[in-house]
Each structure stands twice: as C-alpha cells, then as structure tokens.
Structure 1
C-alpha cells in the first residue's frame, strides 16, 4: 500500500468517526441543552468535514492536530451522564486528561470534570426567554440567524417578533428573502417560509411575527403573547436611557442596544465586564464592533504586562451609512464613494474603553480608515507596556489566552502566514490575533487584530443577551482564571 493509500484510508476512518459523533452531539443539544464545543467552537449542526476541520484547527494553536479518535471517547462518556444545560469543550477535556497523571479512565475523568453540570449541581431547564428585534438590517438579520440556530430544544432564547416600518407591497416576502440569502455570509442554514396573511416568517420551525410600527409607542407586545421579553434595538436611532426606555412597553422587560450607548447606559463587552450588569438594569448597550475587538486583548495584555498607553488604528470595512457614489452626507468624508475610496473617519472605540475597562489607567487614543471591502476589519493596537518582554513571550501568552482563559470565546489566534481579511468572514470571536504580524520591541507591542465586524459582533450581542436573560450556561471544564 502506498503512502497516498494510507493517507486516504486514514481520512475515511476519521470521516466515519466524525459521522458517528453527529447524532450524539445533536441528541445532547436537543434533549439536554448541552452545546458541545471544540476549543470554543460549537460542533452543533456541523457537517462531517466541518468537524474534522475544527479538529485540525487545533494544530494552528497547539502545534498538533487533535484527532477525532481522541475526542470521541469523551463525547461517548458525556452521553452516559445526567447532564443539565451547559457548554462542554471536548478540546479542553482532551488536553486536561492528557496532562492528568492520576491514571483515571476517560469516563471517570469526564464525570469529575463536568460534575458542576450533573446531579444536584445541574441547572434546571427553563421555559425560555422571548426576544424581539427592533429593526432588521445587517446586524438584525445576523442576530436573527444566531437566535434561530441556538433555539435548540426551545428552552433558551426564542425569537418571537421583528418590528419594522412598513415597506410596501410584499414587504414581508422581501425581508424573508434577505434573511434567506446574504451576499457575504451565504445561505441561511435551514428553511424559511412566509405566511403573508398573518405576517409571520417561519424559520426552521420558529414562528416569527413581523410587526409594523413607526414608533415604539405603537406596539403592545402582550397582544402577540410576548411576555418578559428582551428587545434588541438594531436601529441605533436612540442611544441614551431616555430614548431606549421608550421600548419598555407591555411585554418588554429589558432593552439591549447594538451600538455604543450614551450617558449612563452601561456599555457591555461580553467576557470583560458582562458580570457587572445589575439584575435590575433594564437598558444596556453592547458597545461597538471595534470596542468588542480591542477591549478583550487589551485587558489580557494589561493583566500580564501592564499597559501604560496605547493607540488603536482601525482599518474598517465600509458600512451602510456611507454612500455608494459621491453624494450629500452630513459627514463630509462619508459622502464620498465607499467602494472606490479609503475614507478617514472617527471612531469612538478608544474612548469607549474606559466604560468597559474602568480600572485601566492607560490613555488610549484612536482613529479609523474605512476601506473598500464589505466585511471584516483589522484593529492595529500599538501599546506601551509596563515592562519589557519578547515577541515569543507575548505570542505564547496570547495563544494560551485563546485556548484556556475566560476570554477564549472572545480572542482567537491564528498562525497562518498568508491570512487575509476574507478568511475571517463568519468568525464567532470578537477578535483574532494575527501571530505572524505581531511586533514586539522592548516595552512596545503592536497587535494586529482581525474581526468580523458583522458576525463576530453579533455573536457578542447574543452572549450579552444570554447573560442578562439567565440562559448563559456554564462551560466545562471551567477556564483557568
């Protein structure tokens, strides 16, 4: 048998193992609200090839590929346990088991590692929490996709309604079509049908009412059977407490803004300050995509090296508030053609750092350039550190942060030498450290942070909503603090 034959046989064997994992992952998700992860990447509803590629990704971080033959025994052990709602990372289980020298069986080690999700410790499955989207633009549609994807057993977040202004004939058909097909993020994974008579979109079995209103005061959500809901405002029309509080109508309990909040509205970056949200807080903001991209790595760097000062330069994809062709715009430069120009503009991300990281004493300045790409941006974070270090030390530290720290859902790490912006379309992390581009000299470090300013940010929004709704389930094994 040739080397090629050996390689192909090995691939077919791994395909068969990955195929056997799919029903186990699906059953845990549907019946027990357990999301199976691999190095913070969900394996729910993934194909055989996707599962194998996710295992291979570990090679870029840990130096060697993680095999499905290593993770399958842990997955099988999980199916035998009395698990409650949780997120369980097979990659972390395999890594910790390899480092454990007690000689435990896979079954015994797994039971011990996820003990917080079993027996008397497990969370009881609730009825779920209603969610309403106010506005249905780029972020609104991606948040809708994520909510539908995560509906699982129906005991988590439930997208019940979308509020939009009337758009004329076949409005709901056109909006459903925009949800079904996306020029950047591809086809919706599932089926979508429309009932025009009842103004309802059915997406993977989820009935989503489309409510037409020109103002928050026009809607009584209880009339649609919606109660105790979280409303996600995707319009950005109101950013202060007074304006956003207009949404606190019958049926709505909390309001989450997908833009930087003003005044005393808390700006929340999940993974950094989400645990500061008070239980009785009814209005909060998820800050901006750029703030979410820079704050987690900034916190990580400050925790380990100290940060004395910094500057962030964002090279940002163009957005819908710019003009396709030169035309009048209230902001002079944004009036120039977005697909044809690099456009210098302002960013509030640097000033927003203080809200998310009040303990950070360093002064952070910032500026931005909009460029002719439709999605994925890069933040160049130039930091003066509190001590001298080396490039190798920073790389090892950030790699470890991306794998094992509480920020592993926010910070990703890539070593591919030829990575470009389109490679990060669909990334669920708030930012991705480009290892090859990192520069360190003495007490100066320059980080290059890619981020999908649409999808990655939408994932952060969902994490905040899960947290304030009480359906953010614990992760096992618990990340190192």
Structure 2
C-alpha cells in the first residue's frame, strides 16, 4: 500500500467517525438543549466535512491537529449523563483530560468536568422567550437565521414576529426570498415557506408573523399571542432611551438596539461588560460591530500589559447607508460611490470604549475608511503598553486567550500566512487576531483584527439577548479566568 493509500484510508476512517457524531450532537441539541462545541465552534447541524475541518482548524491555534478519534469518547460519555441546558466544548475536554494526571477514565473525567450541568445542578428548561425583530435588513435577517438555527428543543429563544413597513405587491414573498438567499452569506440552511393569507413565514418549522407598521405605537403584540418578549431594533432610527421606549408596548418587556446607544443607554459588548446589565434594565444597546471587534482584545491587552493610550484605524466594508453611485447624502463623503472609492469617514467606536471599559483610563482615538468590499473589515489597533514585551509573548498570550479564557467566544486567532478578508465571512467571533501581521516593539504593539461586521456582530447580539432572557446556558469545562 502506498503512502497516498494510507492517507486516503485514514481520511475515510475519520469520515466514518464524524458521521457517527452527527446524530449524537443533534439529539443532545434537540432533546436536552446541549450545544456541542469544539474550541468555541458549534458542531450543531454541521456536515461530516465541516466537523473534520473544525477539528483540523485546531492545529492553527493549538499547534497540532485534533482528531475525531480524540473527541468521540467525550461525546459518547456525554450521552450517559443527566445533562441540562448547556454548552459543552469537547475540544476543551480533550485538551484538559490530556493534561490531567489523576488517572481517571474518559467517562469519570467528563462527569466531573460538566458536573455543573448534570443532576441536581442542571438548569431546568423554561418555556422559552419570545423575540420580535423590528426591521429586517442585513443584521435583522442574519439575527433571524441565528435564532432559527438555535431553536433547539424550542425552550430557548423563539422568533415570533418581524415588524416592517409595507412594501407593496408580493412584499412577503420578497422578504422571505431575501432570508432564503444571501449574496454574501449563502443559502439559508433549511426550508422556508410563505403563507400570504396569514402573513406568515415558516422557517424550519418556526412560524414567524410578519407585522406591517409605520411606527411602534401601531402594534399591540399581545394580539398575536406574544408576551414578555425581547424586541431587537435593527433600524437604528431610535438611539436614545426616549425613542427606544416607544417599543415598550403590550407584549414587549425589553428592547435591544443593534447600533450604538446614545445618552444613558447601556452599550454592551458581550464577554466584556454583559454582566453589568441590571435585571430591571429594559433598554440597552449592543454597540457597533467595530466596538465589539476592538473592545475584547483591548481588554485582554489591558489586563496583561496595561494600556497607556491607543488608536484604532478601521478599514471597513461599505454599508447600505452609502450610495452605489455619486448622489446626495446628508453625511460628508458618503454620497460618493461606495463600490468605486475608499471613503474617509468617522467612527464612534473609540469613544464607545469608555462605556464598555470604564476602568480603562487610557485615551483611545479612532478613524475609519470605507473600502469597496461588501463584508468583513479589519481594525488596526495601535497601543502604547504599560510595560515592554515581545511579539512572541503577545502572540502566545492572545492565542491562549482565544482558547482558554472567558473571551474565547469573542476573540479568535489565525496563523494563516495568506489570510484575506473573504476568509472570515461567517466568523462567529467578534474579532480575529492575525498573528502574521502583529507587530511589537518594546512597549508598542499593533494588532490587526479581522471581523465579519455583519455575521460576527449578529452573533454578539444573540449572545446579549440570550443573557438578558435567561437562556444563556453555561459553558463547560469552565474557562480559566
């Protein structure tokens, strides 16, 4: 047998193992609301090849490839436990088991590592929480996809309605089509049907009422059987407490804005300050995509090295508020053709850092350039540190943060030498550290942070909504602080 034959046989064996994992992962998700992760990446509804690629990706961050033969025993061990709703990282289980010296079996170790999610300790599943989307543009549709994907047993977040302005003939069909097909993010994973008689979109069995209204005051959500719901405002039309309070109608309990909030509206970056949300707070903001991209690594660097000052330059994909061709625009420069120009514009991300990291006293400045790409941006974060360090030390620290810290869902890490923006379409992290581009000279560090300003941000929004709704399930093994 040749070497090539050996490689092919090994691949087919791993395919067979990955195939056996799919029904286990699916059953845990549907019946117990358990999401199986691999180094923070969900394996739910993934194909055989996707599962194998996710295992291989671990090589970039952990130094060696993780095999399905390593993780399958931990997945099998989970099926024997009385698990409650949770997120369980089998990559972390495999890594921590390898470092454990107690001589435990895989089953014994797994039971101990996830004890907080089993038996008397487990979270009891509630009746779910209604969610309403106000607006159905780029972020609204991606948030809808995520809510449908995470429906699980139906006891978590439930997308019940979408509120939009009437768009004329075949409006419902056109909106459903935009949900079904996306030029950047691809086809919707599942089935979508439309019932025009009841103004309903059915996506993977989720019945979503489409409500037509020109103003929040026109809607009584209880008339649609919606109660105690979280409303996600994707329009950005109202940014302060007074404006967003218009959404607090019958049936709506909380309002989450997918844009930077103004005035005293809390700006939340999940992973950094979501635990500061007061239980009785009804209105909050998820800040901007750029704020979500820079704040987690900024916090990580401040915690380890201290930060005396910083500047962020964002090279940002064009957005829907720019013009396709030169035309009048109320903002400076944004009236010039977005697909044809680099456009200097302002960013509020730097000033928003103070809201998310009030203990960071370092001045942070920022500016932005819109460029002719449709998605994925990069933030260049230039920092003056509190102590001198080396490039190798910074990269090893950030790699470890991406794997083992409470920020591992926010910060990703890549060593790919030829990475470009399109490689990060669909990333679920708030930002991805580009190891090859990182520069360190004494107490000066420059981080290059990729981020999918559409999908990665939408994932952050969902995390905030899960937190305030009480269905943000704990992750095991517990990340080290």
Per the TM superposition, whether the score is higher than 0.5 is yes
Give the Å deviation of 1:152. Answer: 1.0
| Partners of 1:151 and 1:120 in 2: CA distance | 24
Mapped partners of 2:88, 2:397: distance in 1: 23
Cα separation, 2, equivalents of 1:320 and 1:30: 36
Deviations 1:165-207 (A, max 9, x none): 0000010000000000000000000000000000000000000
For residues 332 and 453 of structure 2, the distance between their equivalents in structure 1, rounded to whole angstroms, comes to 23
TM-score (norm 1): 1.00
Q: Deviations over 1:96-116 (max 9, x none)?
A: 000001110000000000000
- Aligned to 1:334, what secondary structure does the other structure show? coil
The residue that corresponds to 1:107 in the other structure is 107
Q: Could you say what secondary structure the match of 1:207 adopts? A: strand
Residue aligning to 1:15: 15
C-alpha distance in 2 between matches for 1:132 and 1:332:
34
Correspondence for 1:267: 267
Report Cα offsets for 1:234-280 as digits up to 9, x if no partner.
Answer: 00000000000000000000000000000000000000000000000
2-side partners of 1:134 and 1:164: how far apart? 7
Aligned residue-pair number: 481
In the alignment, the residues of structure 2 paired with residue 13 and residue 211 of structure 1 have an alpha-carbon distance, to the nearest angstrom, of: 50
RMSD: 0.3
The equivalent of 1:475 in structure 2 is 475
Alignment correspondent of 2:44: 44
SS of the residue corresponding to residue 433 of structure 1 reads strand
- Rounded to whole Å, the distance in 2 between the matches of 1:35 and 1:15 is 21
**Counterpart for residue 347 of structure 1:** 347
1:299 offset after TM fit, Å?
A: 0.1
Q: Which residue of the partner structure matches residue 448 of structure 2?
A: 448
User: 1-side partners of 2:107 and 2:16: how far apart?
Assistant: 22
Q: Can you list the C-alpha shifts for 1:369-410, whole angstroms capped at 9, x where unaligned?
A: 000000000000000000000000000000000000000000
| CA distance in 1: counterparts of 2:71 and 2:126, whole angstroms | 30
Q: Distance in 2 between matches of 1:373 and 1:24?
A: 39
CA distance in 1, matches of 2:456, 2:149: 15
- Distance in 1 (CA, whole Å) between partners of 2:298 and 2:118 is 35
1:411-435 Cα offsets, whole Å, 9 max, x none, are 0000000000000000000000000
Q: CA–CA distance in 2 between the matches of 1:84 and 1:358?
A: 35
Q: Which residue of 2 aligns with 1:427?
A: 427
Residue by residue, what CA displacement relative to the aligned partner does 1:202-250 show, whole Å, maximum 9, x if unpaired? 0000000000000000000000000000000000000000000000000
* 1:332 Cα deviation from its structure 2 partner: 2.3
Partner in structure 1 of residue 238 of structure 2: 238
Moved over 6 A (4+): none
Distance in structure 2 (CA, Å) of the matches to 1:36 and 1:142: 21
Q: Return the alpha-carbon distance in structure 2 between the equivalents of residues 264 and 18 of structure 1.
A: 49
Per-residue CA deviations over 1:339-379 (Å, capped at 9, x if unaligned) read 00000000000000000000001000000000000000000
Secondary structure of residue in 2 paired with 1:208: strand
Instruction: Structure 2 unaligned segments of length 5 or more: list them.
Output: none
Gaps of 5+ in 1: none
Shift of 1:3: 0.2
Structure 1 distance, partners of 2:42, 2:452, is 17
- How far residue 304 of structure 1 moved from its aligned partner, in angstroms, is 0.1
Calculate the TM-score normalised by the size of structure 2: 1.00
For residues 308 and 387 of structure 1, what CA distance do their matches in structure 2 show? 10
| C-alpha distance in 2 between matches for 1:283 and 1:167 | 28
Tell me what 2:159 maps to.
Answer: 159
In structure 2, C-alpha distance between the alignment counterparts of 1:475 and 1:261, rounded to whole Å: 29
Mapped to 2, the partners of 1:332 and 1:365 lie a distance apart of 20
Structure 1 CA distance for aligned equivalents of residues 214 and 132 of structure 2: 15
In 1: Cα distance, 2:462 partner to 2:391 partner: 34
Rounded to whole Å, the distance in 1 between the matches of 2:38 and 2:280 is 34
Please give the alpha-carbon distance, in whole angstroms, between the structure 2 residues aligned to 1:140 and 1:27: 28
Rounded to whole Å, the distance in 1 between the matches of 2:195 and 2:34 is: 32
1:27-426 alignment runs, 5 A limit = 27-426=27-426
